[in-house]
Amino acid sequence: MSFIHPTAVIHPESEVAEGVEIGPYCVVGSRVRIESGCKLASHVVLQGPLTMGKDNFVDHFASLGGAPQHLTSKNNEDSLLKIGAGNIIREHVTLSRGTREGGGITSIGDHNLIMAMVHIGHDCKIGSHTIIASGTGIAGHVVLEDYVYLSGLVGISQRCHIGKLSYVVGFTGISRDIPPFTIAAGSDEDRRLVKIFGINSVGLQRRNYSPEVIGALRKAFKILFHSGMTIQEAISAVREQISGIPEVDHLTQFIENSECGIAPRGEESHSTQQAAWGPRVKVAD
């Protein structure tokens, strides 16, 4: 059974499924579709075209589906914000629709945690099971693969690609692609100069990746970032020495296909892992 607070404003051209809760002073605009199990806390604004899958929670003062924050866009432009299922979207989050030039769709996957005051710009493609911490700003056309973890106050420039199960330390500015399964952080001299600090072994352990896979990724990382070879030579060497590991294949393909360029390496240390994840944890066999 649905609950819609009497102060909420629901446009007659919207579609609200049974089992949706809409709190005080929410505004649901035209061409918005909300599936069952969703809950809007209060003072939430949804503008269409927007589709929202099942079981999402949207907290106070979030604004979803607004026009792209782009000089060439118009508010009535026929573009879309597509939100999957099971997401938690906290206070003051802003998600923009896509632009015609960028394909017209901003998409959010499933089971993401998007913390307070996050902005995700036009034409972004956000995967599933990501965690995006408070105050993070993501510019237009950015791709986040599954299980990415962005710490607080991270800033990502337009068109960057952040690989699967990578971890970005807080206060980092990103203007290059971050390979999958790695840890990235701003340098001590300038937080805007992002560097790669090795394989995200703790994150991989927590996702139950085997020691064999983690070891293969570490070996691949050393070849790619420490061998002194050109990037194409290093990729060829990884493919010759390590085969049959899909995660390694994904790492090399990501680097090979990068359009923004890959962030350079930093010096990996135990302290870097602790800064990212806290103390190391023992993972049961």
Catalytic annotation on 146? Answer: no
Same-domain pairing of 41 and 127: yes
Domain boundary among 107, 125, 141: 141
Domain boundary among 112, 141, 170: 141
Domain boundary among 141, 164, 192: 141
Q: Which of 109, 135, 140, 203 is catalytic?
A: 140
Query: Residue 39 sits in which domain range?
Result: 3-141
Q: In the structure, what pLDDT confidence band is assigned to residue 78 with cuts at 50, 70 and 90?
A: confident
When divided into structural domains, the chain yields a total of: 2
Residue range 150-176, pLDDT digits in tens: 999 999 999 999 999 999 999 999 999
Residue range 265-278, pLDDT digits in tens: 887 544 444 444 44
Residue range 179-188, pLDDT digits in tens: 999 999 998 7
**CA 214, CA 201: separation in Å to the nearest integer?**
7
Q: Which of 59, 123, 146, 177 is catalytic?
A: 123
Catalytic annotation on 123? Answer: yes
Residue range 8-56, pLDDT digits in tens: 999 999 999 999 999 999 999 999 999 999 999 999 999 999 999 999 9
- Segment 209-220 shows an average pLDDT of 98
- Segment 103-107 shows an average pLDDT of 96
Same-domain pairing of 32 and 104: yes
Taking 50 as the threshold, does the pLDDT of residue 206 lie above it? Answer: yes
CATH of residue 89's domain is 2.160.10.10
**CA 94, CA 152: separation in Å to the nearest integer?**
16
Q: Is residue 98 part of a domain?
A: yes
Catalytic annotation on 110? Answer: no
Same-domain pairing of 219 and 119: no
Q: Which of 43, 119, 122, 129 is catalytic?
A: 122
Same-domain pairing of 132 and 217: no
